[in-house]
Structure 1
Amino acid sequence: MEDLFKSATSVLITPKCYDVFFKDWNFLNEECLKSLLSRGLGLGIVAGSLLVKLPQIVKIYSEKSAEGISFWGVLCELFAIIANTAYSFVNRFPFSAWGDAIFLLIQTAAIMTLQLAYTMSTGVATGFVGVTALVVYILMSGLVPLSILWYMQAACIPLMLAGKLLQAFTNYKNHSVGQLSLATCLLLFLGSVARVFTSVHETGDSILILTYALASLANGIILSQFYLYWDMDKKIK
């Protein structure tokens, strides 16, 4: 029975902290409480990521338009997410520290697919899906050396910033947030802020921590533009 309970709680509690909590009965251990909070928050982010970009996807699909959404911005973001997913998977980081990247990858790829379908053709969109799936498989299969994945993860920082700032510039140029979803942008901002905390405690990887810290800043800039251009968007509508 104890083994079953230990196995069930292993998602949230490390073996070391299990002994601290349930053998030493020390529920106030600071290190283990931080670990529990980090893992719980990480799993919450993973669960939330299942739907984080769904409002954006629904909005593009219902309007049959990706107007106001930066093509290059989404592409840079997609590359950054793919690199982050492969790097974390191959390093065997705890799933709670990076699992949301898988669902963000799928949803970001869906946004890019819709964008290509509405601006180019369904054939181009279909080809994009195939190429993306192949790239993800190769990167996560272990065929690519970890050193290369590290450099790809490092490249995520300027690419992620470039993607977000391109979107922010598009908003500034149009004085409108176009088809961007407020719910999606808010959830991305909150998720990236929370990921700074979980990355510190779950991985200790400086590249990941810096990536999420800068992502929080960039997401905050885009989120602020909803306030700046709110009246302008209402007039356009």
Structure 2
Amino acid sequence: MASSPVREFLVTYFMPDKCYEELFVRLHFHAPCVRLVLTKAAGFWMLLDVLLAQLPQLLKILWSGSAEGLSLVSVIMQLYALSCPVVYAMANHFPLFAWAERILTLAQTLVIVFLILRYRGDTLKGLLFVLAYTCVMFLLGSYAAAKVILAMHSSSVAALIASKALQAGTNYCNGHTGQLSSLSVFLTWAGSLGATFTSVQVSASRITHTAALMYSLH
């Protein structure tokens, strides 16, 4: 008997046959299978966040013809935070397929910076910023010292948090969110939640394996 399209999809992307049988045929809440499904779902959501999180914000600015309410410093800090992993990957010669999707996010964020300056009447500054950013990224990825790369990589999370705090402060001072895209904010939040869940699962797995190893040495 041919399997259903739903089963084919779930087994192909989210779980092995055994987990499908446990969860959907026997209706048994099998904890390892549930964790596996949630981890894979979080991974897909993180990829969606990387590819699309900035797109709604970009489209909203273009649609309205305004960047009112957006903090330029906040977006630049976000651009820096997103650039750090890319510079780290470039400097360490990671294969392109391992980080290529982040280039799209960087491009979208860079365009947002340009549009903010453009709609403030500083088109030339925007073009110069894009040119300078591109040159700096190339130089950092090609010639920066290992300590500089590591420091950037370590500071990316702090920079991202700072960017959100700056935008929140701007919203508070303005009394409104302006052209800030709620969908972009939601996608970023959901992607961060997925990354946190995945990190917790990986950390828990490492702790379990370490404990088992220590136990075996006694």
In 1, Cα distance between the equivalents of 2:123 and 2:103? 24
TM-score, L = length of structure 2: 0.67
Deviation track 1:108-134 (CA, whole Å, cap 9, x = no partner) reads: 111101011111332221111111112
Secondary structure of the 1:72 match is helix
Amino-acid identity (%): 31
Instruction: Measure how far apart 1:53 and its partner are.
Output: 1.5
Alpha-carbon offset, residue 41 of structure 1: 3.8
State the alpha-carbon separation in 2 of the partners of residues 114 and 189 from structure 1.
Answer: 23
Distance 2:129 2:67 in 1: 17
Q: Which runs of 5+ in 2 are unaligned?
A: 1-12, 23-30, 205-218
**Structure 1 residue 129 corresponds to structure 2 residue 142:** no
Q: Which residue of 2 aligns with 1:229?
A: none
Q: Which moved more, 1:174-183 or 1:118-127?
A: 118-127
Aligned to 1:181: 181
Q: How many pairs were matched up?
A: 181
Structure 1: give runs of 5+ residues left out of the alignment: 1-11, 13-20, 205-237
Contact 1:59/1:179 (8 A) holds in 2: yes
Normalising by structure 1, report the TM-score.
0.62
User: What residue is the counterpart of 1:67 in the other structure?
Assistant: 68
* CA shift digits 1:59-102 (9 cap, x unpaired): 11122211110111111111111112222453749966x65533
Q: 1:88 to 1:156 in 2, by over 3 A?
A: same
Alpha-carbon contact 2:45-2:194 (below 8 Å) kept: no
Residue pairs, 1:6-45, within 5 angstroms: 38=39, 41-45=42-46
Question: In the alignment, does 2:175 pair up with 1:172?
Answer: no
> Which residue of structure 1 aligns with residue 118 of structure 2?
117
CA distance in 2: counterparts of 1:118 and 1:173, whole angstroms: 20
| Conserved? CA contact 2:46–2:192, under 8 Å | no
| 1:106 match | 107
SS, match of residue 178 in structure 1: coil
Aligned alpha-carbon RMSD (Å): 3.6
Residue in structure 2 matched with residue 58 of structure 1 by the alignment: 59
Question: How much has 1:191 moved relative to structure 2?
Answer: 0.6
Secondary structure, aligned partner of 1:131: helix
In structure 1, give the amino acid aligned to 2:134: A
Helix, strand or coil: the match of 1:50?
helix
Look at both structures and tell me which one has the larger radius of gyration over its CA atoms: 2
Is the 1:35–1:201 contact (alpha carbons within 8 Å) kept by the matching residues of 2? no
Mapping of residues 138-157 of structure 1, within 5 Å: 138-141=139-142, 143-157=143-157
Q: Is the 8 A contact 2:51 2:102 kept in 1?
A: no
